[in-house]
Chain A
Amino acid sequence: MNYLPNIIFALILVAGIGFFVKNIQKIIRNIKLGKDIDRTDNKSERWKNMIKIALGQSKMVRRPLSGVMHIIVYLGFIIINIEVLEIIIDGLLGTHRVFQPIIGNALYGFLIATFEVLAILVLFAVTIFWLRRNIVRIKRFWNKEMNGWPKNDGNYILYFEMVLMSLFLIMNATDVHFQEAGIGNIISQFVTPLFSSFSSDELHVIEKGAWWIHIIGILIFLNYLYYSKHLHILLAFPNTFYANLKPKGQFNNLASVTKEVKLMMDPESDPYAAPPEGAEDEVPEKFGASDVADLHWVQLMNAYTCTECGRCTSACPANLTGKELSPRAIMMKTRDRLEEVGKNIDKNNGKFVDDGKQLLNDYITPEELWACTSCNACVEECPVNIDPLSIIIDMRRYLVMEESAAPQELNMMMTNIENNGAPWQYSQQDRLNWKDE
């Protein structure tokens, strides 16, 4: 017996999965460049969120058409993977439709029929998606941050899915024995006539060809994820699990600031006292974020999870009124910078070497940051609970507390609060005047 195909298949499989694992490890390492944050409290609510939002797609259907189409593609993706399991076993053992005798014709037929129906539905849905992006030109797919790679990336993913689904149907349609048995060929029987001019030997070659391209395509797609916005199919789960559970209006209180403010307000403390032993060497903690390593790891995971759907940006009041700010661009730029830092680390034997760049200014400009109204529309919209607002606020903190670089009017507002306890220049003594006016 000739084992060559089995060996080739095993090698391709190992390489495909091996590269994927390597890239995933890189992503995990990059995410871990972020600061620590404890998001392990309230596990039951976290599981519930993950099941409802990631698995159950509850936030997707807020926009019904794209939501339902997305669920079709998502179900197709998950369920058709059962078939991939059979393909892998067939490939390794040199069998053909190994599950059929094991689970019996009835169940096998039912499963394949389900896959075929899903395949045609997925084809339909991704075609709608393609039309929405390229013909209907829905605005959020044409914002300027989508120029170039992001727009192509979106289309490539759709082409991948179209090709994979077609190959699956062709593979079944040209499987002469499968068609003759007539079990589960609910869709592919209508594809078979397209191949009626071929001899059964030729059909066998086409079937085998479709089979090989299909499984190799899946492995290529798996490895494409790392370079693409499509990582959300994996990261949506941890991302919803570790998402913020507190009220959206609650911003974190910086603990480093609390320490200093308490010291300042403590009448017992001596501002001129010598620092305690060893404290001279301590680098004072940076306030706010100017680069990716100043953000916490959930924020960095958010950046990898973002699939650039733009629902956030389409709800952002600043973006809707023509401002530079786009919450989606905040996430994309954070990921781009994080990737750059990761590559820097790879190149320099595991250590980051200063490249004279940072997230602030080189990627995200103060103009974007100052356009935000902190309204939480972006956070509310995100189908996988990404929080662009927290990044914007952390970067504002850096601008204000490390660089004193707030817009002039905001400096005046803050001076007023400091001097007279109100954002305007009114005397605190007049605070109750309203009752007699």
Chain B
Amino acid sequence: MNVPTMAEMIAQGKQPEVLFWVGAAGSYDDRAKKITRAFVKVLHQAKVDFAVLGTEESSTGDAAKRAGNEFLFQMQAMMNIEVLNGYEIKTIVTADPHSYNTLKNEYPELGGNYTVYHHTQFISKLIEEGRLTVNNTTLKGKRVTYHDPCYLGRANGVYETPRALIRRLGVGLTEMKRNKTTALCCGAGGAQMFKDAEKGDKEINVLRTEDALETKPQIIATGCPYCNTMMTDGVKFKEKESQIEVKDIAELIAEANKL
């Protein structure tokens, strides 16, 4: 795939329209890498002039901060801000709500001021600007339910943008009983992704998957690589993986547009 880095861009004397912040999951996790590539395909189709930091990108520090390690978080933040400001980055898009939240809300006070988009917001913007159209026939009639990532929904109040994108696909969107402000977490946030759950009688991702299964979906859509992992595991736990797919909205759009 043609994915220029900032270093290459600058060497050619160019400044991209937007920096794509890939994030750790999007860079290393096999499932999340598919989301990353799907989003890049969408960016290519809309002819967006973008770049990534590549090997110069490092953890935003979100997980460290939520785990209580403010030191590590601020070290990461300040290093990243040095790189971003060095490249005079103004606009950032990311497919990870955790990176989105941290870059948008927690970096400014430390000297990093950027316009930050979640990829669903950025794709919506491309559509509004007439740079991208979504094919509403490929996935027509599919039953979809949407799982709100906490760091996009409650944390930042983004509920409608992802749903509007899903509706553009021509699919049937059915809400779970807990949705938007009352959506149940997938269980990954607050650094839980990286540890075993505390003692309890159930896994959170299983409970959330049960919410989703009640809507009898063919596709569980979400907008977060960590939610994706948790819901995929939940669907496997319920032995429904042959009937239900867990997909990122970027993947659904790439699929609809046959990219």
| Neighbouring A residues of B200 by C-beta, 8 Å | 318, 321-323, 371
Of the candidate stretches B130-138, B188-196, B234-242, B244-252, the one touching chain A is B188-196
Q: Are B155 and A249 interface neighbours, CB within 8 A? A: yes
CB of A261 closer than 8 Å to a CB of B: yes
- Contact indicator per residue, chain A 283-320, by CB within 8 Å of chain B (1) or not (0): 00001100000000000000000000000000101101
**Residues A395-411 near B (CB distance < 8 A):** 395-401, 406-407, 409-410
B1 at the binding interface (Cβ < 8 Å): yes
Least CB distance, B220 to chain A, in whole angstroms:
17
Q: Complex formed: what's the CA distance from A72 to B235 in Å?
A: 44
Q: Is the CB of B156 within 8 A of A247?
A: yes
A-contacting 9-mer, from B9-17, B56-64, B165-173: B56-64
Residues of B near A139 (CB, < 8 A) are none
Closest CB-CB distance, B97 to chain A, in whole Å?
8
The CA of A407 and the CA of B181, in the complex, are separated in Å by: 30
Question: Restricting to A366-403, which residues have a CB under 8 Å from any CB of B?
Answer: 367, 370-377, 379-381, 393, 395-401
Which chain B residue has the least Cβ–Cβ distance from A429?
Answer: B55
A325/B184 contact (C-beta < 8 A), A431-B55, A434-B37 known: no
Instruction: Enumerate A414-437 residues with CB–CB distance to B below 8 Å.
Output: 414, 417-418, 421-424, 426, 428-437
Contact between chains at B195 and A375 (CB < 8 Å): no
Q: Does A251 contact B (CB under 8 A)?
A: yes
Q: Is A248 an interface residue, CB under 8 A from the partner?
A: yes
Bound-complex Cα distance A322 to B201 (A)? 5
Instruction: Determine whether the beta carbon of A376 is less than 8 Å from that of B155.
Output: yes
Q: Identify B189's interface contact among A325, A370, A373, CB under 8 A.
A: A373
Contact check, A400 vs B199: say whether CB atoms are below 8 A apart.
Answer: no
| Complex Cα spacing A325 to B185, Å | 15
Instruction: Choose, from A144-152, A156-164, A186-194, A252-260, the stretch at the interface.
Output: A252-260
Given A323-B197, A396-B68, A434-B33: A421 and B156 interface contact (C-beta under 8 Å): no
CB–CB B59/A370 < 8 A:
no
Tell me which of A253, A375, A397 contacts B185 (CB under 8 A): A375
Nearest CB in chain B to that of A374: its residue: B190
- On chain A, the residues within 8 Å of B28 by CB distance are 422, 424, 426, 430-431, 434
Decide: B69 and A250 in contact? CB cutoff 8 A. Answer: no
- Chain B contacts for A321, CB-based, 8 A: 197, 200-204, 207
Q: Is A246 at the interface (CB under 8 A from chain B)?
A: yes
**Residues of A close to B5: CB separation below 8 A:** 432
Which among B73-81, B85-93, B121-129 touches the partner chain? Answer: B73-81
Total interface residues on B, CB under 8 Å, equals: 72
Contact yes or no, A409 B67, CB < 8 A: no
Q: Is the CB of A424 within 8 A of B192?
A: no
Q: Which of A258, A287, A371, A376 contacts B197 (CB 8 A)?
A: A371
Interface size classification for chain A:
35 or more
Q: Is A262 an interface residue (CB 8 A)?
A: yes
Does B216 touch A at the CB level, under 8 Å? Answer: no
Q: Chain B residues near A375: list those with CB within 8 A.
A: 150, 154, 184-185, 189-190
A248 touches B154 (CB 8 A): yes
Given contacts A377-B185, A424-B28, contact A432 B154 (CB under 8 A): no
- Contacting residue for B199 out of A249, A323, A376, A399, CB 8 A: A323
Q: Which residue, of A372, A373, A422, has the highest number of chain B Cβ atoms within 10 A?
A: A373
Check if A373 sits within 8 Å of B192, measured CB to CB.
Answer: yes
Complex contacts, B79 vs chain A, CB 8 Å: 265
Indicate the member of A262, A377, A436 with the most B CB atoms within 10 Å.
Answer: A377
In the complex, chain A residues whose CB is within 8 Å of the CB of B78: 261-262, 265
C-alpha gap A222/B105 in the complex (Å): 43
Q: List chain A residues, Cβ under 8 A from B203.
A: 321
B37 to chain A, nearest CB (A): 7
- By beta carbon, the residue of chain A nearest B157 is A247
Please tell me which one of the listed residues A264, A367, A428 contacts residue B75 in the complex, with CB atoms under 8 A apart.
Answer: A264
Query: CB distance B109 to A434 under 8 Å?
Result: no
Which residue of chain A has the shortest Cβ distance to B107 in the bound complex? Answer: A253
Q: Determine the residue in chain B with the shortest Cβ distance to A315.
A: B182
**B76 lies within 8 A of A417 (CB):** yes
Cβ–Cβ contact A370 & B195, under 8 A: yes
Verify if B146 is at the interface (C-beta below 8 Å from A). Answer: no
Residue of A nearest to B24 (CB): A422
Looking at the assembled complex, report how far the CB atom of A287 sits from the nearest CB atom of chain B, in whole angstroms.
7
Determine if B40 is an interface residue (Cβ-Cβ < 8 Å): yes
Within 8 A of B (CB), among A234-272: 246-251, 253-254, 257-258, 260-262, 264-265
Q: Which of A370, A431, A435, A437 contacts B198 (CB 8 A)?
A: A370
Q: Which of B3, B69, B181 contacts A401 (CB 8 A)?
A: B69
Q: Does A37 contact B (CB under 8 A)?
A: no
Is A90 an interface residue when CB atoms closer than 8 A count as contact? no
Q: How far is the CA of A380 from the CA of B159 in the complex (A)?
A: 14
- Contacting B110 at CB < 8 Å: which of A253, A396, A399, A421? A253
- Docked pose: A428 CA to B22 CA in angstroms: 13
- In Å, the complex CA distance between A381 and B54 comes to 40
Contact B70 A397 (CB under 8 A): yes
A373 lies within 8 A of B185 (CB): yes
The answer on a CB contact under 8 Å between A431 and B54 is yes
In the bound complex, how far is the Cα of B79 from the Cα of A421, in angstroms? 10
Chain B 161-179: CB-based contact to A (< 8 A → 1; otherwise 0): 0000000000000000000
B70 with A253: CB separation less than 8 A: yes
Nearest chain B CB to A256 CB, angstrom units: 9
Cβ of B33: which chain A residues have Cβ within 8 Å of it? 434, 437
The answer to whether A250 touches B55 (Cβ under 8 A) is: no
What are the residues of chain B within 8 A of A324 when measuring CB–CB? 198-199
Q: Is the CB of A418 within 8 A of B72?
A: yes
B66 interface contact, C-beta 8 A: yes
Chain B residues positioned under 8 Å from A131 (CB to CB): none
Cα separation A437 to B182 with both chains bound (whole Å): 38
Residues of chain A lying within 8 A (CB to CB) of residue B194:
409-410, 412-413, 423
| 14 pairs, A vs B, C-beta closer than 8 Å | A251-B65, A253-B74, A318-B198, A323-B197, A323-B198, A373-B185, A401-B68, A421-B57, A422-B58, A426-B28, A432-B3, A434-B36, A435-B3, A435-B40
The list of the 7 closest CB pairs from A to B, nearest first, reads A249-B155, A396-B68, A374-B190, A421-B58, A322-B201, A375-B185, A250-B105
Residues of A within 8 A of B (CB): 246-251, 253-254, 257-258, 260-262, 264-265, 287-288, 315, 317-318, 320-325, 367, 370-377, 379-381, 393, 395-401, 406-407, 409-410, 412-414, 417-418, 421-424, 426, 428-437
